[in-house]
Amino acid sequence: MSSKRVVVTGGAGFIGSHLCARLLSENYGVICVDSFMTGSLDNIKGLKKNNNFSLIIHNVSQNINIPGKVDYVLHCASLASPKDYLDFPIQTLKVGSLGTHNALGLAKEKRAVFMLFSTSEVYGDPLVHPQKEEYWGNVNPVGVRGCYDESKRFAEAITMAYHRIHKVDTKIARIFNTYGPCMRRKDGRVVPNFINQALENKALTVYGNGKQGRSFCYIDDLVEGLYRLMLSKVNEPINLGNPRESTVLQLAKIVIKLTNSKSKIVYKKLPQDDPRQRQPEISRAKKFLKWEPKISLEEGLKRTISWFR
Ligand code: UDP
């Protein structure tokens, strides 16, 4: 058995499963806790063969019990696709609030390091560009995205309270748009949508005029940043994302080119409160974690496309 034990909530999800794989490769004992609401057994099929990996099927919005010592609690469980949190707003609110409270309680009891997987959505539809960690955001609490944004803002607040009051060693990763293998085919987010549409020669659905900006980070880059943050001494929030910004329309054209697809583009209604722009300012990550993304959008998309094929 390996010496350090890590609990990964949401460990069977897109980001969680990649992180579990990385932790196993670094010889950690990994306990994956997942309700399979959006995670899947397929994502962890390969990991289950490793003796250092164990799975607990559990919804972390309920109390979490883990026997034995725990060195790290990485709270990754969440609904992360706008499609999911529009369909399941209450579950989204619960996992961000109650789930974070339970995961913090576990970290406190075990005297473990805690890391929250937060989001660029805490900045809402940002009025400051690019977004620095000091920016407090522009969120509509009663809009359709409020269930996600506000639960993550609550999650950050309770994480800092546990740090200040209970002296838990906490980390907050603010994760910007990330893509790669293991995203669900019907995930609803823009990269899997466009790749699947292009591979089937169906029209790519651009919402609004496609001029909204997003910055896409390849999963391997993100996992490296998360791993460095977990081991760091930093307790303040840190942006993790790729600073290269593209419009959604540019992304659609790149995906069509890389897949040699015959697909056209169709324009659909822009969802309510869809942020107009989003780009991480990552000087904090560069300074404290010596981290920045290395994989270009074209390279990351090629790898993702070949996985989806
Ligand atoms: N989007 C799009 N077509 C799609 C899915 C998404 O044009 O089929 C747009 C969406 O409106 C948003 C951007 O792509 O402006 C990124 O959406 P996603 O759901 O990936 O995540 P978000 O960044 O909004 O959290």
Q: What percent of the chain has pLDDT over 90?
A: 99
Q: How far is the CA of 190 from the centre of ligand 1 (A)?
A: 5
- Closest residue (by CA) to atom 14 of ligand 1? 190
Residue 214 in contact with ligand 1 by CB distance below 6 A? yes
Residue 138 has pLDDT above 80, yes or no: yes
Told to judge if 148 belongs to the known catalytic residues of this protein, a careful annotator would answer: yes
As a whole number of angstroms, the distance between CA 133 and CA 281 comes to 8
As a whole number of angstroms, the distance between CA 83 and CA 91 comes to 13
pLDDT score, position 2? 63
Q: 172 forms bridges with which residues in the sheet?
A: 116, 237
Identify the residue with better confidence: 2 or 114. Answer: 114
Residue 189 in contact with ligand 1 by CB distance below 6 A? yes
Kindly state the average pLDDT of the residues 16-35: 98
- Closest residue (by CA) to atom 5 of ligand 1? 190
- pTM of full prediction above 0.95: yes
pLDDT tens per residue across span 199-225:
999 999 999 999 999 999 999 999 999
Q: 115 forms bridges with which residues in the sheet?
A: 74, 171
Q: How far is the CA of 188 from the centre of ligand 1 (A)?
A: 8
pLDDT tens per residue across span 150-191:
999 999 999 999 999 999 999 999 999 999 999 999 999 999
Kindly state the average pLDDT of the residues 53-81: 97
Q: What are the structural domains, with CATH classification, of the chain?
A: 5-179+218-243+277-294 (3.40.50.720), 190-212+245-274+300-308 (3.90.25.10)
Q: For residue 197, which atom of ligand 1 is closest to its CA?
A: 8
Q: Answer for the pair 57, 36: CB distance below 8 angstroms, yes or no.
A: yes
Residue 95 has pLDDT above 80, yes or no: yes
Question: Which pLDDT band, with edges at 50, 70 and 90, does 1 fall under?
Answer: low
Residue 101 in contact with ligand 1 by CB distance below 6 A? no
Q: How far is the CA of 189 from the centre of ligand 1 (A)?
A: 6
How many residues are there in the chain? 309
* Chain centre distance of CA 50: 24
Q: 207 forms bridges with which residues in the sheet?
A: 268
pLDDT tens per residue across span 27-58:
999 999 999 999 999 999 999 999 999 999 99
Neighbours of 231 (CB within 10 A): 13
pLDDT score, position 141? 97
Residue 80 in contact with ligand 1 by CB distance below 6 A? no
The encoded tokens of residue 259 equal 């897949």
What DSSP letter does each residue of the chain carry, written as one string? --S-EEEEETTTSHHHHHHHHHHHHTT-EEEEEE--SS--HHHHTTGGGSTTEEEEE--TTS-----S--SEEEE-----SHHHHHH-HHHHHHHHHHHHHHHHHHHHHHT-EEEEEEEGGGGBS-SSSSBPTT---B--TTSTTHHHHHHHHHHHHHHHHHHHHH---EEEEEE--EE-TT--TT--SHHHHHHHHHHTTPPEEEETTS--EEE-EEHHHHHHHHHHHHHS---SEEEES---EEEHHHHHHHHHHHTT----EEEEPPPTT--S---B--HHHHHHH-----S-HHHHHHHHHHHH-
| Catalytic position from the list 85, 123, 148, 162 | 148
pLDDT score, position 3? 85
